[in-house]
Amino acid sequence: MAIFEGAGVALITPMNEDLSVNYNKLEEIIEEQIAGGTDAIIACGTTGEASTLTVEEHLDAIKRTIEIVNKRIPVVAGTGSNSTETAVEFSKEAEKYGADGVLVVSPYYNKATQKGLIKHFTSIAEGIDIPVLLYNIPGRTGVNIEPETIAYLVNNVENIVGVKEASGNFSNAIKTLRLCPQIDMYSGNDDQVVALMSIGAKGVISVLSNVAPRQTHEMCKAVLDGDIFKARKMQIEALDVINNLFAEVNPIPVKAAMNLQGKNVGPLRLPLTPMEKAHEEVLAKAMKEYGIL
């Protein structure tokens, strides 16, 4: 059983003006996501600015998210770190809080060999009983989790069940699915959702869902229902918004987009800075044309 099928939102972490985490706003945007049909909440990932949260904030944001959702939809906790020990401890805490699974990015900066990746992910999975999703995003981490490595882990470690595939490499994605067809694969790129689902992915872990939860859910549902023509149309219609949500490094544009929508999710923590005005204007135009502003 997959943790979820369809559109999981890679949720932003709202901030107060003093850069503290805004937990009241967190509850508000989670309720909006659930009302919009989002199929799962992914807390404290890249989009959630996990890398600039303190340990206490990171764990508290996960705990509060789980409490707010209250089992209405699955919650997947981002518990990755470039320290294996830290990732193990975060994952244990997330399981204790009631997370339905964890999303674990490959070690960044210090990287690792493929052998090192196997040991890293295995250590995390062996420390918990809930499902583990690998997170392959070489553009952020500097290392690709090779298809053979993913397949080894899924085939040999019971609770490593899937991967968020954000490499953009379709050849590797297809090879991964051939080597372990039972894998729960999720697109990590909003512009490739329908294409990746067409070859066997279960859905997406989405930035777009922050500003368009209903549309992202419906696009995934169309694929799962076999209506590829509807899904393809929706994917193409969303393209300009998606491209502009990545005009600067994520989550700069998506926070700007949510603030344009009047959601008041607050600023970003350094080293992230506000979106350039020229980029924001183009983003706003795309959002208006898409019907979400």
Burial of residue 17, with CB atoms counted within 10 A of its CB: 0-12 exposed, 13-18 middle, 19 or more buried: exposed
Query: Given the structure tokens 């996990």, which residue do they identify?
Result: 50
User: What CA–CA distance (Å, rounded) separates 146 from 136?
Assistant: 9
Pairing outcome for strands 203-206 and 75-78:
unpaired
User: What CA–CA distance (Å, rounded) separates 110 from 177?
Assistant: 28
| Residues with catalytic roles | 135, 164
Binding residues for pyruvate: 47, 205
Q: Which residues are paired to 206 by β-bridges? A: 9
Q: Which residues contact 180 (CB under 8 A, 6 or more apart)?
A: 150, 151, 154, 155
User: What CA–CA distance (Å, rounded) separates 78 from 10?
Assistant: 9
| Residues 36 and 208: beta-carbon distance below 8 Å | no
